[in-house]
Amino acid sequence: MFKMIQTLILASRSPRRNSLLLSAGVSFDVCPSGVDEPVAPDGRLGPGAAARTAESCARLKAEAVSAAHPGAWVLGADTMVVFDGRIFGKPTDRADAVRILEILGGRQHEVITGMCLLGPGGKGPKVGSVVTRVGFRHLTSAEIEAYVRTGEPMDKAGAYGIQDRGAFMVRSVEGSYTNVVGLPLCEVIDWLLEKKIIEALK
């Protein structure tokens, strides 16, 4: 669907972000940044704080990769789940995954993906974020335990994957579905077109 005009690097090892970009016909190289996931602050966050945290982490990831590949455009992203002013990243272990899902069950939370697109040499950063609201059905303890035993929650913010087994928990999605998967594809495509990194096939 799109023709590459300039070299693009995805600063992420996430297979979900990889698959989303490939589904749109975007060609790119993958170079994980090595940047640690953000540590969730203690207490409740003020308005906009979670989005700023996600954007900051996305920029750190992009900058780390850009420094090693100065001739390419670099896209960094960071996704987090937020409920009641608290950030829920990837669970630290199975008990933490159970705890997170017990909190989210039967409630609505936000999924925020921060993005940063850096030009060659780290120039002209474009930074932003997308918010999607996700509602969960009520979850029984047996359902949570069974899902956690699959291992699927362990590498995902909020301890679930909407595109896989975790779909059974999701009652509603308000906003970008691909954002919940890990990358708001419409917004990313708009950015790549704007910066003339890609163009539509004729």
Query: Catalytic site residues?
Result: 78
d(CA 68, CA 47): 35
Kindly report the three-state secondary structure assignment for every residue of 73-92.
EEEEEEEEEEECCEEECCCC
Which residue carries 């590459």 as its tokens? 4
Q: How far apart are CA 116 and CA 128, in angstroms?
A: 7
60 token code pair: 């750190």
Sign of the alpha-carbon torsion through 146, 149, 150, 156? positive
Alpha-carbon distance values, 119 to 78, 129, 144 (Å) = 18, 18, 43
Three-class DSSP category at 84: coil
Distance CA(88)–CA(196), nearest Å, equals: 35
